[in-house]
A and B are shown apart, each in its own frame.
Chain A
C-alpha cells in the first residue's frame, strides 16, 4: 500500500512565523500535491510538483511556497504565517504515467492553527 506521511497531525504557530509542513511518500511517485481543506470550500490546490525540483502553482498559491529537493519529499512553506492560513493541510502523491486514471493517495493531514 502507498504510504504518505505528514510530519505533524496538529501544529500551532504564531502570526509572522515561517512554517514548514513536511510530506514523505514511499512509492517513488513522480507527482506530489498540497491542498488546504476548509469548511464549505472543499479541497483547494495550493501547489503541485510533477518531478524533483519542478513545481507549479495551483489555485491558491499566494502566501505559500514549496520545495522538492528529493523525489520522496515535498515541503510546504508558509513564508509569514497569518491567521487566515489556519486550516487543514493535505498532502497527496500520484504515479505519473501521463494518463488521467492514476488516483492520488493522501496523507492524514496536518491541522494548523495560526494564533
Chain B
C-alpha cells in the first residue's frame, strides 16, 4: 500500500537558518503530494501541494518539488523564523482515493 516516510524529529534551528525536512513516498501510481503544518493547539493547515512530476509547490517562503525519480517531496525554506515553529506533515493522495496517507510528522523549533 501507499506510505510516506518523513525525517525523524525534532529539528531545532536558529532564526534565519536554512530548513530541509525530508519526505519520501511509496505509491503504485502517480499521487498528489501535500505538506501540512500544525501550529501549537491548532488543526492542520495546507501549506503547499504538487500534483505531478517536477511541479513545485510554494507558499509563505516554503517550497517543495515533486521528484518522481527519487519518489521525494522535500520541504525547504531559505530563512526560518520563530513563527515557523510547528509540526510539519507530508501526505499523499492517489487516484480515486479520498483519504490522505500521512507521514508521522516532524517537529520544528526555531530559536531566536
Binding site for B on A (CB under 8 A): 4, 6, 31, 33, 40-43, 45, 48, 50, 58, 90, 92, 94, 96, 98-109
Contact = CB atoms under 8 A, between A and B. Distances in A.
Nearest to B100: A104
Contacts of B31: 100
Interface in B31-62: 31-32, 34, 36, 41-46, 49, 51
Contacts of A107: 43
Given A42-B103, A43-B105, A106-B43, 15 more contacts: A6-B43, A42-B104, A43-B44, A48-B98, A48-B99, A58-B99, A90-B44, A100-B31, A100-B32, A100-B51, A100-B95, A106-B36, A106-B44, A108-B41, A108-B43
A101 to B, nearest CB: 4
B90 to A, nearest CB: 10
Contact of A100 (B36, B43, B46, B97): B97
B89 interface: yes
Contact of A96 (B46, B98, B105): B98
Given A31-B98, A50-B98, A101 B104 contact: no
A42 B89 contact: yes
A94 B42 CA distance: 18
Nearest to A30: B98
A102 B97 CA distance: 11
B94 interface: yes
Contacts of A33: 99
Contacts of A106: 36, 43-45
5 contacts: A43-B44, A100-B51, A100-B94, A107-B43, A108-B43
A31 B97 CA distance: 11
B25 interface: no
A72 to B, nearest CB: 17
A6 B43 CA distance: 10
B96 A40 contact: no
Contacts of B32: 100-101
A21 to B, nearest CB: 13
A109 B87 CA distance: 15
Contacts of B73: none
